[in-house]
Structure 1
Amino acid sequence: MECSIGGKLSHLNVTRRNFGRVLDRPRNVWSAFSEKRTFSSARESRHASDSPIRVSYLFGALLVFGIGATSWGLYEFYTTLTMWPKEVRGDLRAGLRAKRRGDIKLARRHLAEQVAWETIQTMAHEVLDPDSYLKYSGVAIILAEVLELEQDVEEAFNVLNTALSAFIDTQNPSPVTSPSTPSDTQTIQPDSSKPISSSAPPSSWTSPSPPRLSIKALLDSGRSDTIRSQLNSKNRMRAVALALKLGELSESLKRPEEEERWLGFAVTEVLRLIRDEYGLSFDSRRGFTQNSPGSVTAPGEENNAKKSAKEERDHEAPVRNILSPDSSDTELGLPTWVSLTKSELAAPMERLGAFYSRQGKYGNAILLYRVASSLLVRSKPQNSNGNPSRPSIAELCQALQIENAHMALLMELRRSRPEDSTIHRDLSRVLSRAVNIYDKAVEQNRPRVKSQDDGAGAELEMTLCDETYPAVFYNAGVYYEELGQLDQAFRSYSLSYKSLRAKGGSQEMMYDALKNARRVQRAINKNAQQTSQDSTQGSTSTPPIDSKDSSNKQ
């Protein structure tokens, strides 16, 4: 009984143990599953716990950066204007802030109708020093830009006129002869002791007469002014920019006399600036050439015991500054036309040449185009590494456009003077020069020779060359066809068509070039047939030898 009971008990114990083993399996399976689940949950919870930390760090960094950038921008905005006197600082700051927000009316009220522009005109230049004229004209430029945005072109013209007149007064404080009756002193002469800028009108003139520009005398490389301007090159370049803008506004206002006057002033100032300050002279055959430093020194300067630091500087350094000027006008956010690049230095010649072309004064226009093209294709002086910098693709393409306009003017001049041999010679030279300019641009556009000066827009600028180059050959075809040189005309038209087709140019111009080439080809074939017929008729019309005569001779 005990045994059986004990056996039963032992059996129960065994069964309990076996049952326990059976129950242990799902417990172990669940345990393993739960551990796996727990491991997975641990990973998810760890990522969930890390993610807010990372986002908070990133958000905090961005927040700090944003606050810092905003604070720095505000600091820069307010501190950069401390260079102006307190009398104009507040309104100038408020006007700039309104302009940047797009509130043009408020900007005009602060800049013009309150204190800024009116007050700065009454200040002595000592109060505005250093760079008093740059500050004075900078306010005028900002105000004129605001006035243009309000479509008040007349008032913008008056403001810039006043600013440029201040430059003229500092160069020539003596009163200017009334422009209604111009005298010989107003004629632009580079060898005169009177500053060239005396030809520009004061702000009060309203009905100017066109100046008597002596372009050839102005470009005489063998002469130099006996009195050099005491103003630095930055002021003079600012005056050139103002004159160019006044010429543009004069064109908008339909005032051709004023347009000619201001563009002429810009041309003379650029040439004086290049020649007097930087030793570059223009020769009609060689273009711009570098003078020796002594050739641009005013009489008596060499006798000074102590020369200024500017005169002791390497002569190439200021040339680099004029051909690659850096902008120092960012504190006012001035428009891009203020800072003159080499292309913009050539702009006065190009625009005045276009003006004379519209007026039918082809001689002056051709000479100005030649000056502008020579300046653009001229290599920049040696840089800090001692290597000359080539003209950029943009400058070469601009020069190519000028040469195309140059060729068109020569063709117009040839039609009126067909017997002038110099025009034929100049046309051949212009065509050769245009081809060389395009070849340089193509060579420079290759990846291995691209420079940093070309920039990311090199391909876009090269498109301008690709559009102008076929036009040059098209004009050459017209020129040769007018001369009766049909072979040259056919070759030029064909080159124009092939270039347009290769570059995907204008379909209309492509059609015209192909049509002209086919017409010239038909004329060539017709002439060849006529020549062949004439030669055949000539041979058949020769009388045969009479047999009687021959027998008599025998």
Structure 2
Amino acid sequence: MLRAAKNGSTTRLSRSIARPRPPKVPRLTIPHAQWSKSYATSSESSTGSPGLRMRVSTLFTILLGVGIAATSYGIYDFYATFTMWPKEVREDLRAGIKAKHQGELDLSERYLRRAWQTARELPITAFSQEPYLKLSGIAIVLAEVLESTNRPEQAYETYSTALALLRAAEAQPQTQLSGRERMRTVALAHKLGEMAEVYQREPEEVEHFLTFAVEEALRMLKDAGGVDVKGKQKAGAGEDATVMLAELEMPWWVRKVDVAAPLEALGRFYARENKPQYATTLYLQTVGLLMQPSPGEKEANVEDRCRAAQVMNNLSDIMSRGPPPSNIHNAEAWARKAQDVIEKTRTMSGARRNPEAMMLCEQTYAAVLFNLGALLEMSGQLEDAKKSFEETVAHSKKIGLRTGLMEARAALRRVERAQTRTGRESRSTT
């Protein structure tokens, strides 16, 4: 199912990155510390009904998608950790990150660009343990500053260069990247795939990076041991690796979200490209991985459950596009599954301790209620659809979700008009 990554270390920009084009549907981007979530509405449906669907599209931010060095050497704790960097780059790196945190981005760029140039001129042995993790960390921070100053093309090139360095090192027989360095290649490829999508690059470019990210994650986990043979997945060119990710024991240096992020992103890509079979398989893998309890735990944690509910909602959207009449039944089943997961998550002991994750759950809950209403409307159950839209209105008010409120009110008006029309037709026939 997964296509082999194309040859070559990276795809470089041959033209300027265009600014993102306005979406064709109303859209709300909801800021979040770890996942950015957007609620979109669409009048399309596989049955031709006028029902709107609210879809939660999961986009990992740079913190998770690229791992910024916070997951490696704590680059942001610069006062405590800079002694582990070569002295040739230490001062520029410290000054660049300090300026970044103070909002002086132009000054930060000058320092970080000089640190990045110096770092690439040093022998790799100057970085001691896990050198490519440190080297790519400088590039990541520089690229983040470039993104913040609205220079996506330069940021893209910087991320690409960092990925190329890692892949070139991995190709050398005498070099063995650590697990965390390989995880960095996954994160960088994922980031590049997301940028290629946002800035309207060719679909092949998006697929290239996201496919590489997924396949490299599978290869890395396979090499770490514990791969269970289940279904057919292509983990690399000419290499069959059958993997059920939910049954893998993750190495200590891999978080579930590190693998789930590119899986979900590639699934989302295939959903947009009208390849529902590919998207469904990737979404199912993502849900299974996120819902699998960590070793020693009885249930997945609050954050992972909320993320899984988002993906379940996306699965519902995919299912609704299938052939009738099973499409509505399958879509409703996944929407109700997402609803059940969120309702149970609310009762968990960790819910109060993680308000950010619970906000994600509550926003997803509004989308799920809306989707259920749309599905019920599409199947002609207007009274039940009206009730679901009313619940969406009440919940959106409760959490301050303006777009959910507006869309649900519009849907209510539509359903009420349909009920009035149906009533008139019924009276005319009698």
- TM-score using structure 2 length: 0.66
- Alignment map for 1:36-55 (pairs within 5 Å): none
Aligned partners of 1:502 and 1:102: how far apart in 2? 39
Are positions 1:290 and 2:236 aligned together?
A: no
Could you list the per-position Cα deviations for residues 143-172 of structure 1 after superposition, in whole angstroms to 9, with x for gaps in the alignment? Answer: 112222332221211111111112212222
Aligned partners of 1:79 and 1:289: how far apart in 2? 37
Are positions 1:244 and 2:244 aligned together?
A: no
The answer for the alignment partner of 1:263 in structure 2 is: 210
Could you list the per-position Cα deviations for residues 209-235 of structure 1 after superposition, in whole angstroms to 9, with x for gaps in the alignment? Answer: xxxxxxxxxxxxxxxxxxxx9533311
- Alignment map for 1:137-286 (pairs within 5 Å): 137-173=136-172, 230-256=176-202, 257-277=204-224, 279=226
Are positions 1:390 and 2:322 aligned together?
A: no
- Cα separation, partners in 2 of 1:251 and 1:371, compared to 1, 3 Å: same
Are positions 1:350 and 2:282 aligned together?
A: no
Could you list the per-position Cα deviations for residues 384-433 of structure 1 after superposition, in whole angstroms to 9, with x for gaps in the alignment? Answer: xxx334231x433333332232232333342xxx5xx8xx2x76445324
**Contact persistence 1:282–1:371 (CA under 8 A):** no
Aligned partners of 1:491 and 1:281: how far apart in 2? 47
Where do 5+ consecutive residues of structure 2 fail to align?
1-76, 233-242, 398-403
Are positions 1:466 and 2:423 aligned together?
A: no
- Cα separation, partners in 2 of 1:520 and 1:352, compared to 1, 3 Å: farther
- Cα separation, partners in 2 of 1:282 and 1:357, compared to 1, 3 Å: farther
Q: Which structure has greater helix proportion?
A: 1
**Contact persistence 2:228–2:247 (CA under 8 A):** yes
- Cα separation, partners in 2 of 1:391 and 1:120, compared to 1, 3 Å: same
- Cα separation, partners in 2 of 1:273 and 1:492, compared to 1, 3 Å: farther
Q: Percent identity?
A: 30
The answer for the alignment partner of 2:107 in structure 1 is: 106
- Cα separation, partners in 2 of 1:444 and 1:125, compared to 1, 3 Å: same
Structure of higher CA gyration radius: 1
Residue 525 of structure 1, CA deviation: 10
Could you list the per-position Cα deviations for residues 117-160 of structure 1 after superposition, in whole angstroms to 9, with x for gaps in the alignment? Answer: 12222333322121211110111111112222332221211111
Residue 502 of structure 1, CA deviation: 4.2
Aligned partners of 1:138 and 1:410: how far apart in 2? 40
Could you list the per-position Cα deviations for residues 254-312 of structure 1 after superposition, in whole angstroms to 9, with x for gaps in the alignment? Answer: 21332221122222223334444363558569964426xxxxxxxxxxxxxxxxxxxxx
Aligned partners of 1:102 and 1:289: how far apart in 2? 41
- Cα separation, partners in 2 of 1:433 and 1:404, compared to 1, 3 Å: closer
Given candidates 339, 343, 350, the residue that maps to 1:442 is 343
* SS in structure 2 at match of 1:388: coil
The answer for the alignment partner of 1:17 in structure 2 is: none
Where do 5+ consecutive residues of structure 1 fail to align?
1-75, 175-228, 292-315, 324-341, 534-554
Aligned partners of 2:356 and 2:80: how far apart in 1? 34
For 1:519, give the aligned amino acid: A
Question: Which protein has greater RCO, CA pairs closer than 8 Å, 6+ apart?
Answer: 2
The answer for the alignment partner of 1:37 in structure 2 is: none
- Alignment map for 1:8-23 (pairs within 5 Å): none
Aligned partners of 2:205 and 2:229: how far apart in 1? 26
**Contact persistence 2:292–2:299 (CA under 8 A):** no
- Cα separation, partners in 2 of 1:95 and 1:362, compared to 1, 3 Å: same
- Cα separation, partners in 2 of 1:249 and 1:390, compared to 1, 3 Å: closer
**Contact persistence 1:95–1:111 (CA under 8 A):** yes
Residue 78 of structure 1, CA deviation: 5.3
- Cα separation, partners in 2 of 1:322 and 1:289, compared to 1, 3 Å: same
The answer for the alignment partner of 1:411 in structure 2 is: 320
For 1:322, give the aligned amino acid: V
- Cα separation, partners in 2 of 1:348 and 1:168, compared to 1, 3 Å: same
- Cα separation, partners in 2 of 1:473 and 1:149, compared to 1, 3 Å: closer
- TM-score using structure 1 length: 0.53
* SS in structure 1 at match of 2:214: helix
The answer for the alignment partner of 1:497 in structure 2 is: 389
